Amino acid sequence: MHGLGLGGYDPDSQQEAAVAFSITVNEDEQRIPAHCHRKGQLILALKGAITCEVEHARWMVPPHHAMWLPGLVPHSNHATPGAQLYFLFIEPWSVVMPQHCCTLKTSSLVRELIVALASRSPAQRRQPATQRLVQVLFDELPEQPQMQLQLPVSSHPKIYQMVESMEADPAGRQTLAQWAQTFAMSERNLARLVVKETGLSFRRWRHQMQLILALRLLIGGQSVQQIAHTLGYDSTTAFITMFKKGLGQTPGRYLSGVGGA
């Protein structure tokens, strides 16, 4: 996926209002190092998932969702093997989109429009029929709802260590007091540091981390029972409650909605 898997083609060199490409991620092409584009970029996952990391946050993009990145925002990507992704590059002047990074829940219409645009050749993209397709896409994109699938992170060494440890051992579930002991600082000072660096309380921040890890495992094919065990929950019911609180539905309903959306 080096160079975005576009065969050396640079979308930023073109003045088209919208250009779309599709890729399937190979085992040895799962990571894209930090880079940025002049154009805004929408990364749509139809199969598998991709995690985008920008300054101060990691964003999870599950199937049938999309990550919006405004132009000139440095970011790196980590996709699951076999993921089917679509990249949509948009000129900044062409449509009103959020000025911040966000995950969007895409409608069937938006997904089909992006897929159709990605199938057009350069000559076809200049035809009036394609321009009409793009205009419908631009009408629909601003209406897509935003989803809270981001984990605030920080370059602070203590916050970074906590993230790395939670990802490596999600069942560990260290408390704030245990982390404070690890860092040889008071629980109160660590709580303040987490809020300062992430904008969330430790409890909410850890909940968001567990939610993103749960999504990654769910998309990877693990059962609800397996995920609950992996994340260190005492019962499957407790895990389902956490998931439903974060995404508004149970893991089973969420996954069936992704598959049938």
**CA pair distance 49, 145, nearest whole angstrom:** 18
pLDDT at 152 over 80: yes
Q: What is the pLDDT of residues 78-118, one digit of tens each?
A: 787 778 889 999 988 888 888 888 889 899 999 999 999 99
CATH number for 2-147: choose from 2.40.50.140, 2.60.120.280, 3.40.50.300, 3.40.50.2000.
2.60.120.280
Scored b (16 or more CB within 10 A) or e, 22-45 reads bbbbeeeebebeeeebebbbbbbb
Model's pTM, two decimal places?
0.76
Which superfamily, per CATH, for 153-260?
A: Homeodomain-like (1.10.10.60)
Q: Where are the domains of the chain?
A: 2-147, 153-260
DSSP codes, 31-90:
EEEEE--SSEEEEEEEES-EEEEETTEEEEE-TTEEEEE-TT--EEEEE-TT-EEEEEEE
**CA pair distance 261, 258, nearest whole angstrom:** 5
Same fold, 2-147 and 153-260: no
Percent of the chain with pLDDT over 70: 90
Per-residue confidence band for 28, with pLDDT thresholds at 50, 70 and 90: low
